[in-house]
Chain A
């Protein structure tokens, strides 16, 4: 079945540093979504990427979808303490758009 791998598992940064998490799928994806889960909270949708090579920005967050539609990345510029949480990528490749989540990257930010 479809597998989605995410690295790193953990990342600790000083406030103001940049952060990147990477996502790789074992199969070609029809789309990829990114979610953020705060400690003790539930996943919250950030964005969806559909097109090959697509790049989308949300303020300090930049999302990319690879040309082969098998990998993606999330980059945060100048992290803030409010960025703390686990970032999940979730890929969809089937006709029913079933999402397969990666294990997530836990980001902690030292003020």
Chain B
């Protein structure tokens, strides 16, 4: 089966610019996650969707980050305006279970560099 797709793979922007990332989860997976992984650290959950509803966004910096999952499939994560500390890999993951624990399948990530 096809894995989680993400684009772009790399993005370089200047601070205060905006950027958007796209994710297509594995077909049939109800839950979609966006993580931020700073170099040398573990992934940090930014937002979790179940179908097209938000389950958890407690660690999403809502003054600059936004995310949506239209029709419960694809998702986009936007940063506006970007700061230097947003430089990280943004990982999208999906899982089959809706509302339960289970294996998360990660995409290849988008490496963001903010200059």
Chain A: residues with CB nearer than 8 A to chain B? 4, 6, 30-31, 33, 41-45, 48, 50, 88, 90, 92, 96-104
Contacts and interface: CB of A to CB of B under 8 A. Distances in A.
Given A102-B42, A103-B40, A104-B42, A45 B104 contact: yes
Q: Name which of A6, A43, A44, A88 has the most chain B CB atoms within 10 A of its CB.
A: A43
A98 B45 contact: yes
B14 interface: no
Would you list the 9 A-B pairs with minimal beta carbon distance, nearest first?
A101-B42, A42-B106, A45-B103, A97-B101, A96-B55, A31-B101, A43-B106, A101-B43, A98-B56
Q: Name which of B45, B93, B101 has the most chain A CB atoms within 10 A of its CB.
A: B101
Contacts of A4: 42
A55 B74 CA distance: 37
Q: Name which of A4, A99, A104 has the most chain B CB atoms within 10 A of its CB.
A: A99
B60 to A, nearest CB: 12
Interface of B: 40-45, 48, 55-56, 91, 93, 97, 99-109
A92 B101 contact: yes
A103 B41 contact: yes
Identify whether the interface residues of A are mostly helix, strand, loop, or mixed.
Answer: strand
B107 A42 contact: yes
Q: Name which of A4, A42, A44, A50 has the most chain B CB atoms within 10 A of its CB.
A: A42
B104 A42 contact: no
Contact of A45 (B41, B48, B91, B105): B105
A82 B115 CA distance: 35
Q: Name which of B43, B55, B105 has the most chain A CB atoms within 10 A of its CB.
A: B43
